[in-house]
Structure 1
Amino acid sequence: MREPKWRESGEDPDYRFSLANERTFLAWIRTALAILAGAVLLEEFSTKIGPHWVTVVLAVVLGALSAVLAVVAYVRWRANEIAMRERRRLPLTVAVPLIAAVVLAVAAVLTVLIAIYGR
């Protein structure tokens, strides 16, 4: 595999920081996979709550969030690596409030559906 251009700039960070950054990347990927599993579970087994189209929309939203998080995980990992190489502050991320907002919205809608249609 060809080494990316950005790895030629700055100096190599302490390997412990690079490994910690990699573990963080993997945690984001696990989160994306868990959200995707929730989307599949919701669509597959939500026969008793609300109109089916609403649960399908919620599942699609969760699936899209999962895909976005997978991309954000890589972008964030790369940005952190570059910042460490150039001895800059680590960049902020929009992923945390994004996850919180989407999961809050889906949870709120599901709670209402369960309260209305649940048996």
Structure 2
Amino acid sequence: MPRRRPPLRDVGHDPDYRFSLANERTFLAWIRTSLALIAGGVALASLVPELTPEALRDGLAVLLVVLAVVVALRSYARWDRAERAIRQDLPLAVGGTTVRILAAGIVVVGAGVLALLLLGR
């Protein structure tokens, strides 16, 4: 059976609340990004039906929503890691794969939308 992580309240000490609030604001910014990606996927799938080929348009819409789910899940993991580090006075992790995943996904979607616009003429 996998070992469970202790609840946050049992880790380290209560930090300066400003650090926890900053961590929460960062988490919420990632969640807003996820919501924007979902909105973009829905818009691409339903609001611009004239963009063809349909398979490319629908594939890009699905990619946006999948990217949103990945970013939302990873943002929670990032928040939890950062909060535990703050509570234990440990250094925060720098960088991370979430930023690279998001950037790569946006590049692919951007190239796909450009292709849709050029092919739809």
Residue 106 of structure 2 is aligned to residue 103 of structure 1: yes
Deviates more, 1:17-26 or 1:43-52: 43-52
Provide structure 2 residue ranges, at least 5 long, that are not aligned to the other structure.
1-5
Specify which of 5, 8, 24 is matched with residue 6 of structure 1.
8
Residues 20 and 83 of structure 2 are in contact (CA less than 8 Å); yes or no, is this contact kept in structure 1? yes
Query: How do residues 58-73 of structure 1 correspond to structure 2 at under 5 angstroms?
Result: 58-73=60-75
TM-score normalised by L of structure 2: 0.88
Alignment-mate amino acid for residue 78 of structure 2? R
Q: Identity across aligned pairs (percent)?
A: 43
Alignment-mate amino acid for residue 111 of structure 2? A
Structure 2 distance, partners of 1:56, 1:112, is: 13
1:35 shift after superposition:
0.5
Q: What is the aligned-residue RMSD (CA, Å)? A: 1.3
Q: How many residues align?
A: 115
TM-score normalised by L of structure 1: 0.90
Deviations 1:42-88 (A, max 9, x none): 00022222211111111111101111111111111110000111111
Residues 32 and 66 of structure 1 are in contact (CA less than 8 Å); yes or no, is this contact kept in structure 2? yes
Secondary structure at the residue paired with 2:12?
coil
Residues 52 and 120 of structure 2 are in contact (CA less than 8 Å); yes or no, is this contact kept in structure 1? yes
The runs of at least 4 aligned residues of structure 1 exceeding 6 Å deviation read none
Provide structure 1 residue ranges, at least 5 long, that are not aligned to the other structure.
none
Structure 1 distance, partners of 2:12, 2:49, is: 55
Structure 2 equivalent of residue 38 of structure 1: 40
Structure 2 distance, partners of 1:61, 1:115, is: 20
Structure 2 equivalent of residue 82 of structure 1: 84
Alignment-mate amino acid for residue 111 of structure 1? L
Structure 2 distance, partners of 1:37, 1:55, is: 14
